[in-house]
Amino acid sequence: MADYIWLIPLFPAIGFIFNGFFGARMSKGAVSWIACLAVFLSFLTAVAIFIEFLQMPAAARIFEINIYNWISSGELYIPLGFKIDALSLVMSLTVTGVGFLIHVYSIGYMAHDPGIKRFFVELNLFVFMMLVLVTGNNLLMMFVGWEGVGLSSYLLIGFWYEKDSASDAGKKAFIVNRIGDFGFLLGIFLLFLSLGAQGVWTLNFGEIKTNAHLLNGSLVSIITFLFFVGAVGKSAQLPLYVWLPDAMEGPTPVSSLIHAATMVTAGVYMIARLNFLYSMAPDTMMIVAIIGVLTAFFAATIGFAQYDIKKVLAYSTISQLGYMFVAVGVGAYSAGIFHLMTHAFFKGLLFLGAGSIMHAMSGELDMRKMGGLRKKIPVTFWTFFIACLAIAGIPGFSGFFSKDEILWKAFSSPHGHILIWFLAALTAGMTAFYMFRLLFRVFYGESHVPEEIKHHIHESPKVMTVPLMILAFLAIAGGYVGIPHVLGGTNLFDQFLAPVLGGGTAHSGAAAASFSLISSAWASGAEAAGEASLEITLMVASVVTALIGILIAYWLYVSNTKLPEKFTAAFPGLFKVVNNKYYVDELYDFVFVRGILKAGAFLLKVVDIGIIEGIVNGTGSFLQWAGGHLRKFESGVVQQYAFGMILGAIIVVGYIVFAPLF
C-alpha cells in the first residue's frame, strides 16, 4: 500500500479538478459530498499505510517513489517524487483527518452561501497543496506545496471578495508570506549551490541528509536561518504574524483549516523535516526557540483584551505555534509535532465551535453581546469547554501531554534554558485565563444577546455538531499516545517518530553548552536529585499556573463581573494599547506601507519625472528647437539659396588664399 503514497495528495486534486470543471452543472450537495469524499479517501489511504507501518520494523518504515521525471538539466535532476515515513504519515493523517471533518462541517455552515461550489473547489485545492508539501520527497516539491497553500489561503481568506476587509486580508496574507518565502527560496538556492560545489547536485531530503557533513557550521547556520525566515512568515511568528488575525475575514471553516491542519503548521513541519540540518546549527536553534517563546508570550497578552471570538482564537493560535517553535528550537522535534497534532484537534474544535456560536447568533462575534448560551446550545458548549480544557493544559486532556512535554524539554534540553521554560510556563497560565475568559463571557452569566437575536438562538444541525463531537473526543484521547515515562507511559508518539526525529535532541557540542549554561547546571542538578521528581515538579507547577489562570477568569467574569470594567477604567491607557494590539499594524502601515508609498512618490517625482523624463523630453525639445532654426535655411526662395552659395564660395576661397599667411 505504501507504494501508492501518491494517492494521498491525488484524491483532493481529483476533487478540485472534477468540481472545478463540472461543479457548475451539479447541485450544491453533489459538489459538497464529492469534495468530502476526496479528502476521506486520502484519509483512508493514510490509515492503510499507518496500519502497514505498525506491522513493520521501525527502521523499515520509509517509502519513497518517483513517478515522473520533472526537471532534468545537466547535473540537476528533480523528480516528481513522494516520501512517506513516520513524520509525513503523522502530518498526512492530521491534515486529511481534521480536514475531512472540517469539510463535512462546512456542508452545514456554508449551506446558504451562494459561493458554496467555489468554496469546496478551493478547499480541496488547499488540502491538496498541503499534502504535496508534507509528502514531497525533495525541497522543490515542498516549495510547490508551500506556495500552493499560500495561494489557497489568499483565495479562501478573500472568499467574500465583495467586502473590502476580506479582499484586503487576503492580499495582506499573500504579501506578508512572500517576505518569508523569499528567505525560504534563498535557503534552497544556497543549500543547492553549496552541496553542488562539493559535487552533490540534489534537493532530495534523503540525499541532503547523507551529504550534510559536507557543509561547514557557519554555512549551515545561514541556510537554516533562511529557511526559518520562511517558517516565520508561513507560521505567523514575530515579526510576520500580522496576517493571521486578519485571516479571520474568511469563512470560519477556512480559519479552522488554516489554523488547525494546514498552512500555519508548515513552518514547524519544515524544521522537523530538516532536523538534521538544524541540529548542526545551534545558533539558529537558539533563535528559533527565542522567537518562539517571545511570540507565545506576546500573542497571549493580546488575547487578554480582545472581544472578537475569532480574534482571540487567532492570537491563541499564534501563541501555540510559538510553543511548537520552542520545541523544535530546543531540539525536541517530536514534542513539537506532538503539539502540532493535539493542537489540530482542539484548535479545529475551537474554530468550528466559534462557527457554531456564530450560526446560533446570526453571525455575531462580539462576546460582549453574548452570555448565558450554555443551555441554549449545549453540544457547542460542552465541546467548546473540552477544547478550552485541552488548550489550557489541564491533566487528562491532549494539550496537557503535549504542552508539558515541550515545557520539560525547554527546561532539560541542552538547547533549552530556564528563562525559556519560565516564559512558556507563564504563557500557559495566561492561555488558560484568556480562553476561559472567552468561555465564561459567551456561555455563562447574564445574557447580553440583543432581543432581535434571542429568539433565533438554536443548536447547529448534526452535520455541524457531529464533527464537533468527534474533535472533542480527539481533544481528549489524542494525547494518550504520548504519555511520558514519568507518568508510567512509554511515549508511543515519540517512539513512532524516532526513526525520523530520533537524533533531534543530539548534543551539538560547545556551542550548545555555551547557550544554556544555566539550564545545563539545572539539568545536572536534576540528574543528581532525580530527574523524574524534577519533571513532576515542573509539571505540577505548570498545571497550578493554568488553574490559577482559570480561577482568575472565573472570579472576574462569573463571580465579580464588574471588576473587569473597573480595571479598564482604572488603566484605560494600558487597556487601549493591548486592545489595539500594541499598534503593531499601525506601525507597519506607517513604516512599510506609507513609507513605501512615499518612497514611490519620491522616485516618481525625482527619478522618473525629474531625471528620466527630463532627459527624454529634453532631448526631444532640443532637437525640436534645433530643427526649428535649421528649417529656416529651407525657405524655398531661390535668391536666398544663390546668396548662400556665393557667400560659401567666398568663405572657401578666402580660406584657401589667406590661410597660408597665418
Under 8 Å between Cβ of 253 and 126: no
Confidence of residue 76 (pLDDT cuts 50, 70, 90): confident
Dist CA 547 CA 393 (whole Å): 9
For 40, other C-beta atoms within 10 Å of its C-beta total 20
CB half-sphere exposure, 93, CA atoms < 13 A: 20
Dist CA 450 CA 369 (whole Å): 7
Under 8 Å between Cβ of 326 and 420: yes
Q: Which of 317, 335, 344 is nearest to 237 (CA)?
A: 317
Burial zone of 396 (CB within 10 Å; 0-12 exposed, 13-18 middle, 19+ buried): exposed
Under 8 Å between Cβ of 420 and 482: no
**With 80 as the cut, is the pLDDT of residue 518 above it?**
no
C-alpha cell at 416: 533549552
Q: Which of 127, 117, 115, 228 is nearest to 163 (CA)?
A: 115
Dist CA 89 CA 247 (whole Å): 28
The residue with greater pLDDT, 529 or 143, is 143
Block residue for cell numbers 520539560: 408
**pLDDT of 489:** 86
pLDDT in tens, 194-233: 999 999 999 999 999 999 999 988 999 999 999 999 999 9
**With 60 as the cut, is the pLDDT of residue 234 above it?**
yes
Task: Characterize the bridge pairing of strands 63-73 and 76-84.
Answer: antiparallel
Dist CA 420 CA 406 (whole Å): 11
487-510 in b/e form (b: 16+ CB < 10 A) is: eeeebebbebbbbbbbebbeebee
Under 8 Å between Cβ of 234 and 178: no
**pLDDT of 264:** 93
Dist CA 248 CA 15 (whole Å): 25
For 244, other C-beta atoms within 10 Å of its C-beta total 28
Backbone region of residue 416 per phi and psi (left: phi > 0; alpha: psi in -120 to 50; beta: other values): beta
Confidence of residue 520 (pLDDT cuts 50, 70, 90): low
C-alpha cell at 383: 465541546
What's the average model confidence in pLDDT over 599-613? 89
283-296 in b/e form (b: 16+ CB < 10 A) is: bbbbbbbbbbbbbb
**pLDDT of 508:** 41
**pLDDT of 510:** 39
Dist CA 392 CA 29 (whole Å): 38
**pLDDT of 350:** 96
**pLDDT of 452:** 86
**With 50 as the cut, is the pLDDT of residue 516 above it?**
no
- CA 136 to the chain's CA centroid: 18
Find the length of the chain. 662
Under 8 Å between Cβ of 16 and 36: no
**With 60 as the cut, is the pLDDT of residue 288 above it?**
yes
DSSP 382: H
pLDDT in tens, 141-194: 999 999 999 999 999 999 999 999 999 999 999 999 999 999 999 999 999 999
Q: What is the DSSP string of 229-250?
A: HHHHHHTT-TTS-THHHHGGGS
What's the average model confidence in pLDDT over 533-550? 94
**pLDDT of 506:** 41
Under 8 Å between Cβ of 45 and 2: no
Under 8 Å between Cβ of 79 and 68: yes
For all residues of the chain together, what is the average pLDDT? 91
**pLDDT of 456:** 84
* Cα–Cα separations (whole angstroms), residue 40 to 97, 299, 348, 552: 7, 34, 17, 42
**pLDDT of 524:** 53
CB half-sphere exposure, 267, CA atoms < 13 A: 36
**With 70 as the cut, is the pLDDT of residue 8 above it?**
yes
Whether omega for the bond prior to residue 239 falls within 30 degrees of 0, making it cis, is: yes
Dist CA 354 CA 361 (whole Å): 10
What's the average model confidence in pLDDT over 287-293? 97
Contacts of residue 493, Cβ cutoff 8 Å, sequence gap at least 6: 334, 338, 341, 481, 482
What's the average model confidence in pLDDT over 105-132? 95
What's the average model confidence in pLDDT over 18-26? 94
Calculate Rg over the CA atoms of the chain.
31
Residue 508's SS3 state is: coil
Contacts of residue 107, Cβ cutoff 8 Å, sequence gap at least 6: 29, 32, 33, 36, 463
Confidence of residue 504 (pLDDT cuts 50, 70, 90): very low
Whole-number percent of the chain with pLDDT over 90: 77
**With 80 as the cut, is the pLDDT of residue 652 above it?**
yes
pLDDT in tens, 378-413: 999 999 999 999 999 999 999 999 999 999 999 999
Residue 64's SS3 state is: strand
**With 80 as the cut, is the pLDDT of residue 550 above it?**
yes
Q: Which of 291, 296, 560 is nearest to 430 (CA)?
A: 296
Under 8 Å between Cβ of 133 and 269: yes
Confidence of residue 341 (pLDDT cuts 50, 70, 90): very high
The residue with greater pLDDT, 149 or 643, is 149
**pLDDT of 519:** 52
**pLDDT of 455:** 85
C-alpha cell at 126: 488547499
Dist CA 32 CA 19 (whole Å): 9
Dist CA 190 CA 325 (whole Å): 23
Helices then strands, each counted (H, E), the chain? 30, 2
Using the Cα atoms of residue 283, residue 223, residue 275 and residue 194 in order, give the sign of their dihedral: negative
**pLDDT of 3:** 79
- Which residue(s) pair with 64 in the sheet? 83
- Which residue(s) pair with 138 in the sheet? 204
Amino acid at 190: L
pLDDT in tens, 419-449: 999 999 999 999 999 999 999 999 999 999 9
Give the range with max mean pLDDT: 256-270, 371-385, 442-456: 371-385
What's the average model confidence in pLDDT over 69-76? 85
Dist CA 457 CA 401 (whole Å): 36
